[in-house]
Amino acid sequence: MYFVYNLVMVESNLDKAAPESGSEELQVLRTSSLTGVLERELQNLILTGNLKPGQKLNEIKLSERFGVSRGPLREATRALAARGLVDFFPNRGVFVRSIPFDEALEIYDVRAAVFGLAGRLLVDLVTDDMLTKLYGFVDTMDALARDKHFESYYPVNLEFHQFLIGSTRHKTLQTEYNHLVNKLHLCRAKALVQPGSLALSNREHREMVDSLASGDKLRSQEAFFRHVERAKRRLQAALKETENASFGAE
């Protein structure tokens, strides 16, 4: 329903803007706008896990699902490939990209540096209202972690981090950070992180907000950097524990 609404709005806006509905320019604009909507919809399916790392994109089923021809769909998948979200394999098709564990660790390293910079920048921008909102996020996640509501914790955690990144007002930083986070969604090993680590992670969230409240740039940069670095270590520990369990079962 959401996709249909977006598509109808695209068509409606184009019809209003076009002097001649049959013009070649309008047809190009229709195709490019439809491709953009399809790209966002496919990205959402990938990042929410509905299309999983390594899964093949079935053109026929997706065309039927969205009610579109394969042309715009192929253009959308090409755009996703350029952003590193899918891979093309000759004679095999398009697959959701699967980030190997070693590459994921490298992404964590770069993300830590970018997030640390965000913490440093935010010290000069933070307001009392922002701190109130941030502490509200942390309190909510405390309750969810205590009750082990992982499915509810996850979206609040994402919103918390996006609020921080968005509050930097630094478009280049936002773009790079979101690109890194999107790629981490393609790492299968990320699913190994256990709900028991939620409380520990949220204590780090509180440390981050406390550092912003302190007005100390170095403290804030370190707290933000350390949070991602520790997340990386939790992922490594979870993978090692899984490997040990599999070895013991053989």
Residues across the chain: 250
Q: Which of 77, 96, 115 is the last residue of a domain?
A: 96
pLDDT of residue 91: 87
pTM: 0.74
- Check which CATH number belongs to the domain holding 105 and give it: 1.20.120.530
Q: Domain count for the chain, please give it.
A: 2
Residues 107 and 92 in one domain: no
User: What pLDDT, in 10s, does the model give residues 53-89?
Assistant: 899 999 999 999 988 888 889 999 999 998 888 999 9
Q: Which of 61, 96, 131 is the last residue of a domain?
A: 96
pLDDT of residue 191: 55
Residues 87 and 165 in one domain: no
Residues of the chain falling short of pLDDT 50 = 1-22, 25-29, 246-250
pLDDT of residue 190: 58
CA atoms within 13 A on the CB side of 167: 24
pLDDT of residue 15: 41
Cα angle 111, 116, 117 (rounded to 5 degrees) comes to: 100
pLDDT of residue 19: 42
Strand ranges inside the chain, DSSP E: 86-89, 93-96
Q: Domain residues for 221?
A: 101-249
Residues 81 and 195 in one domain: no
Cα angle 99, 103, 105 (rounded to 5 degrees) comes to: 115
Cα angle 230, 232, 108 (rounded to 5 degrees) comes to: 115
